[in-house]
């Protein structure tokens, strides 16, 4: 196994002027200390156990939890490297998005790492929803065990029957019946639902077809052991099963849950989604930067030791160009991610939606280009499982879809830009651009 990336994300110290003000990307003493702790943990615990995790998973038939995962979680929790994602200090580490960014990036070096630190999707987004919108009962029943890493959860919005990138299409029914709701529908791509520790789904569905378009949908907690819930299958991603979490197709057939399982209130599905999908999606971008950093490190190490046609691969001009382009693109994406994180902290997720959409377009495509160059530099080994690159590629490719397709984010950016230009014109008048 080739050596691994030791660090990434050189500090962007000092102040940078952005369109909206002055940004300080420097690390606080707390973040500096957490980074050092995290880097040491990655070296000592995570990287050496990646192959152990895979072996245990395969030996046990894949849909069980490898014991090494729970051992690593215990150690991370005892070290205070736990729930770093949650900005609410009552429930989590209380870091801002900007503070969490360099830490999340380090976790992105390994596909296994985020779970070790209880910072994995989709549980992070679900915990944020429960912390922000959950009732006291929902918090004690679901949020607290999730925060302790004892159970896992899934988020079930996407449906096979409708174009789910437009969430107004979601057709699962959530109907009130006395003191209960009855849920009927078919979901797929519910990540994590196949995990034996997954106990609850946050299900999005239509509770009032006559309400205004963005008030028709609700989110409801559905315990997976409720009669009528059936995991039909787990969908592979480019052939990878992503065990033990999986991406499940779930049938919800006359599923009856008490009325107090609704989150916040009926019709609040879109309002919650706005909150949920902001930070969670930007975490994917932070991790993609870490993934790209590891790919670039692997590339550089490989080309520095392999010779072809009388010289090292690193002496080939084209390969030097790949290295240079990769460094430029990673650093560009990091700056944009930090800008989005800073803006979310300063003015909130809604006001930062253009920056969030921009980074969601850029980060997966950047990571795919860097990983692809590394695969090419590795030759045949690059597409094997002897190095993490093929798996990284599959994972990064899904993120051009899994958080909403690129095209939808681009449309959002364009609409916001057009509005900004129209507002500008009103202020400076016709001909202002000239
Ligand atoms: C690995 C993985 C994990 C996932 N995890 C989850 C999960 O945990 N929970 C969950 O609910 N869902 C999950 N998803 C589902 C994901 O969110 C959806 O696949 C995504 O939102 C797109 O919906 P769709 O598949 O129905 O595609 P559709 O809505 O049918 O869209 C298909 C294509 O149409 C095009 N398109 C759509 N809108 C526009 C537009 N405005 N302009 C131009 N072109 C457009 C795009 O190219 C798009 O890819 C996951 C998906 C994957 C692959």
For residue 140, is it within any domain?
Answer: yes
User: Residue 26: what pLDDT?
Assistant: 87
Nearest CA to ligand 1 atom 38: 408
d(CA 165, ligand 1 centre) in Å: 5
- Pick the more confident residue, 25 or 405: 405
Q: Does the pLDDT at position 300 exceed 80? A: yes
Please report, for the domain that includes residue 342, its CATH number. Answer: 1.20.140.10
Nearest CA to ligand 1 atom 48: 405
Clarify whether residues 290 and 418 are in a common domain.
yes
Total domains in the chain come to: 3
Task: Let me know: does 81 contact 37? Beta carbons within 8 Å.
Answer: yes
| Orientation of helix 353-378 relative to helix 317-347, angle to 10° | 160
For residue 408, is it within any domain?
Answer: yes
By C-alpha distance, which of 362, 331, 346, 292 is closest to 12? 331
Task: Let me know: does 240 contact 394? Beta carbons within 8 Å.
Answer: yes
* DSSP line for 209-277: TTS-GGGSEEEEEEETTSTTEEEEEE--BTTB--TTT-EEEEEEEEEEEEGGGBSSSTT-HHHHHHHHH
Clarify whether residues 324 and 376 are in a common domain.
yes
Clarify whether residues 133 and 33 are in a common domain.
yes
Predicted TM-score (pTM) above 0.85: yes
Clarify whether residues 164 and 48 are in a common domain.
no
User: Residue 181: what pLDDT?
Assistant: 98
Helical segments of 379-405, H only? 389-398
Domain end call among 263, 296, 314: 263
Clarify whether residues 77 and 209 are in a common domain.
no
CB atoms within 10 A of CB 40: 12
| Ligand 1: lining residues by beta carbon, under 6 Å | 122, 155-158, 163-165, 189-191, 237, 247, 398, 401-402, 404-405, 407-408, 411
Please report, for the domain that includes residue 250, its CATH number. Answer: 2.40.110.10
- Pick the more confident residue, 79 or 273: 79
Clarify whether residues 112 and 230 are in a common domain.
no
In whole angstroms, how far apart are CA 321 and each of 229, 300, 315?
Answer: 52, 12, 10
For residue 7, is it within any domain?
Answer: no
Clarify whether residues 409 and 342 are in a common domain.
yes
d(CA 248, ligand 1 centre) in Å: 15
Cα of first residue to Cα of last residue in the chain, in angstroms, is: 58
User: Residue 279: what pLDDT?
Assistant: 72
Domain end call among 98, 122, 147: 147
Q: Closest ligand 1 atom, CA of 159?
A: 26
Clarify whether residues 317 and 387 are in a common domain.
yes
For residue 9, is it within any domain?
Answer: no
Clarify whether residues 294 and 183 are in a common domain.
no
For residue 380, is it within any domain?
Answer: yes
| Orientation of helix 47-59 relative to helix 67-78, angle to 10° | 150
User: Residue 13: what pLDDT?
Assistant: 43
For residue 8, is it within any domain?
Answer: no
d(CA 401, ligand 1 centre) in Å: 5
For residue 330, is it within any domain?
Answer: yes
Nearest CA to ligand 1 atom 17: 402
Q: Is the peptide bond between 122 and the residue preceding it cis, with omega within 30 degrees of 0? A: yes
d(CA 237, ligand 1 centre) in Å: 14
CA–CA distance, 412 with 270 (Å, rounded to integer)? 16
CA–CA distance, 315 with 190 (Å, rounded to integer)? 46
- Mean pLDDT, residues 266-281 taken together: 81
For residue 90, is it within any domain?
Answer: yes
CA–CA distance, 94 with 338 (Å, rounded to integer)? 17
- The string of pLDDT tens digits covering residues 212-256 is 999 999 999 999 999 999 999 999 999 999 999 999 999 999 999
Clarify whether residues 198 and 325 are in a common domain.
no
Domain end call among 228, 263, 298: 263
- Mean pLDDT, residues 259-266 taken together: 98
- Mean pLDDT, residues 390-408 taken together: 96
- Mean pLDDT, residues 372-396 taken together: 98
CA–CA distance, 201 with 157 (Å, rounded to integer)? 10
CB atoms within 10 A of CB 99: 20
CA–CA distance, 76 with 5 (Å, rounded to integer)? 20
Clarify whether residues 274 and 203 are in a common domain.
no
Clarify whether residues 131 and 241 are in a common domain.
no
Its domain, for residue 161, covers 153-263
CB atoms within 10 A of CB 70: 14
- The string of pLDDT tens digits covering residues 303-339 is 999 999 999 999 999 999 999 999 999 999 999 999 9
Write the DSSP symbol of residue 179: T
d(CA 357, ligand 1 centre) in Å: 15
């Amino acid at each position: 196994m080739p050596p691994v990336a030791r660090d990434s994300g050189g500090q962007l110290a000092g102040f940078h002027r952005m369109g909206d003000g002055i940004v300080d990307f420097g690390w606080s003493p707390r973040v500096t200390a957490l980074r050092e702790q995290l880097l040491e943990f990655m070296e000592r615990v995570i990287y050496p156990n990646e192959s152990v995790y895979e072996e245990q998973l395969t030996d046990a038939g894949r849909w069980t939890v490898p014991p090494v995962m729970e051992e690593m979680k215990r150690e991370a929790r005892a070290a205070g490297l736990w729930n770093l994602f949650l900005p609410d200090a009552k429930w989590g580490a209380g870091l801002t998005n900007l503070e969490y960014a360099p830490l999340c990036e380090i976790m992105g070096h390994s596909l296994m790492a985020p779970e070790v630190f209880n910072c994995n999707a989709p549980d992070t987004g679900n915990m944020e929803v429960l912390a922000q919108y959950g009732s006291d009962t929902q918090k004690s029943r679901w949020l607290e065990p999730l925060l302790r890493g004892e159970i896992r959860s899934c988020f079930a919005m996407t449906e096979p029957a409708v174009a789910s990138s437009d969430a107004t299409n979601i057709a699962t029914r959530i109907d009130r019946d006395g003191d209960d709701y009855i849920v009927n529908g078919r979901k797929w791509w519910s990540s994590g639902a196949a995990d034996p520790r997954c106990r609850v789904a946050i299900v999005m569905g239509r509770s009032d077809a006559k309400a205004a378009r963005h008030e028709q949908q609700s989110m409801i907690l559905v315990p997976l052991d409720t009669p009528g819930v059936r995991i039909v299958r787990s969908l592979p991603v480019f052939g990878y099963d992503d065990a033990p979490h999986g991406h499940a197709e779930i049938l919800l057939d006359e599923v009856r849950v008490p009325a107090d399982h609704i989150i916040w209130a009926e019709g609040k599905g879109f309002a919650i989604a706005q909150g949920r999908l902001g930070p969670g999606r930007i975490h994917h971008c932070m991790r993609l930067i870490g993934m790209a950093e590891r790919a670039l490190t692997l590339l550089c190490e490989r080309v520095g030791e392999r010779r072809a046609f009388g010289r090292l691969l690193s002496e080939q001009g084209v390969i030097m160009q790949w290295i240079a382009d990769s460094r430029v693109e990673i650093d560009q994406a990091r700056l944009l991610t930090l800008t989005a994180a800073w803006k979310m902290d300063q003015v909130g997720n809604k006001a930062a939606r253009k920056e969030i959409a921009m980074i969601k377009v850029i980060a997966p495509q950047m990571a795919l280009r860097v990983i692809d160059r590394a695969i090419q530099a590795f030759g045949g080994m690059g597409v094997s499982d002897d190095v993490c690159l093929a798996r990284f590629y599959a994972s990064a490719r899904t993120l051009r879809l899994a958080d909403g397709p690129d095209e939808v984010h681009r449309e959002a950016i364009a609409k916001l830009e057009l509005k900004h230009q129209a507002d500008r014109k009103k202020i400076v008048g016709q001909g202002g651009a000239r």
